Amino acid sequence: MRRLLAAGMLAVACLAQGAEVADLPPQETVLEALRVHPQVQAALAGLRAAQAQRDGLLAGPHEFTLRAMAQSRKDRSIDQRYREHEIGIERSLRLPGKVALDADLGTAGLEVARHALGEALHAVSRELLARWFAWQREAAAVTDWQAQVAIWRELETAVRKKVGAGETARLEAMLIDAQLKQAEAQLAQAQARRERAAREWRQHFPGIGLPDAPRLAEPQPIDASPDAIARWRARILAEHHELAVARSEARRSRLAAARAEAERRPDPTVGLTLGSERDGQERLLGVHLSIPLPGEARTAGARAASAEADAAAARESLALARAEAEASQAVAAAADGFTQWRRHAEVARQMEENARLVEKAWRLGEGQYAELQAARRQAIEARLAASLALLEANEARYRLLLDAHELWDFESIGSDADKRDLSQR
């Protein structure tokens, strides 16, 4: 058991360093498949939009306004007409508190987009892992049924020889032929399921080819001591993107509520005017200041933003509860999967040995075919259950490592987006 634990810890260390895993697709092709996936591309576009929105908030909503006016004035007392014109420029000025809030709001929006990208990468990685093991399960079932068909064909040859020698009844030949046909039917069904899983895989991840045969690796245990479980849970919660999105959304909503409250104080507008009257006999230079009078709409907007912040806080609490449950489930599934695999593997070994002994006795004429049929059926069921338990144990362990960010280094995709942002600013 100590050797198994040591092997498991070594495997985790290798994964954390980005080493390739024998029974998973190569990391380079996985990262490329994640990068081009539509869900990730949408999140990357959302990140670019958040970067642009941050820049817009930093710049502010106000722009310079240019005003120009030309008119003709007629003095009837002297029957004289004058050409006059006026030109002005004005701009609203954000109050200092609003400037700081807008900067924080832009940063918070960018943080939400980054976590949303991480969530998309994590979700697609989970889907990739699930579909990979779905194909692995069907491919492993095909391999197991191919082995069973080969065994039944060998037995059919043996029983025909015994029938020809008069050592057994023709009924046994008929029974074993029916058993062979049943095994071949099961093999055909397994092959159809494998092909369906392969088509679905190619539809969702066309950039990653499937191997010719399933890649089965012996499951490795995880450290399931109370301290280790606590560390696993803490690690998963620290890297939980859905929770991070909810938290950053709550922070952005609080900032938006504060910004809406600040908007109840209107921004002043300052302008400069130059003019000419009476054909240039009079020159004008003026400065004007205008301040909107706040109404009920601003107050209502502040109340709405405050309510939205409360809703975001409630969603954050819900996301935290869901993340804690998922973390506990991931650790328990990884630990239980290894235990279940060991049990099924031992049962399969015993059933195979039992079937071998019963077959040996039957070949020597010391047993009944019904006993051989029952023993062989039990061995088939045990072998299929062991293969399924092996793949479920590996999938649960990889899912745990994925949730803890110790499987694939897909954070580099988000880093590339940040580098592009810095190069554009």
Structural domain spans, the chain = 2-424
Q: Is the Cβ–Cβ distance between 71 and 84 less than 8 Å?
A: yes
Nearest C-alpha neighbor of 382 from the set 358, 412, 352: 352
Q: Please count the CA atoms within 13 angstroms of the CA of 268 that sit on its side-chain side.
A: 7
Rounded CA separation 95/91 (Å): 13
Rounded-to-integer distance, Cα 244 and Cα 319, Å: 9
Would you give per-residue pLDDT tens digits along the chain (425 residues)? 333 333 344 344 444 444 567 889 988 899 999 999 999 999 999 999 999 999 999 998 888 999 988 888 877 777 788 888 889 999 999 998 899 999 999 999 999 999 999 999 999 999 999 999 999 999 999 998 998 888 888 877 877 776 666 655 567 777 788 888 988 999 999 999 999 999 999 999 999 999 888 888 889 988 888 898 899 999 999 989 999 999 999 999 999 999 999 999 999 999 999 988 877 778 889 999 999 988 899 999 999 999 999 999 999 999 999 999 999 999 999 999 999 999 999 999 999 899 888 888 877 777 777 787 788 888 888 999 999 999 999 999 999 999 998 888 877 776 655 555 545 55
pTM above 0.85, yes or no: no
Which residues are paired to 379 by β-bridges?
Answer: none
Contact assessment for residue 264 and residue 294, using Cβ atoms and an 8 Å cutoff:
yes
Q: Give CATH for domain 2-424.
A: 1.20.1600.10
CA 94/CA 57 separation, integer angstroms: 11
Give yes or no for a contact between 351 and 383, defined as CB atoms under 8 angstroms apart. yes
Q: Which amino acid is at 247?
A: R
* Residue 284 CB contacts under 8 Å (≥ 6 apart), including other chains: 86, 273, 274, 275, 276, 277
Cα–Cα distance measured from residue 120 to residue 123, given in angstroms and rounded to the nearest whole number: 5
Q: Is-contact 173 163, C-beta < 8 A? A: yes
SS3 81: strand
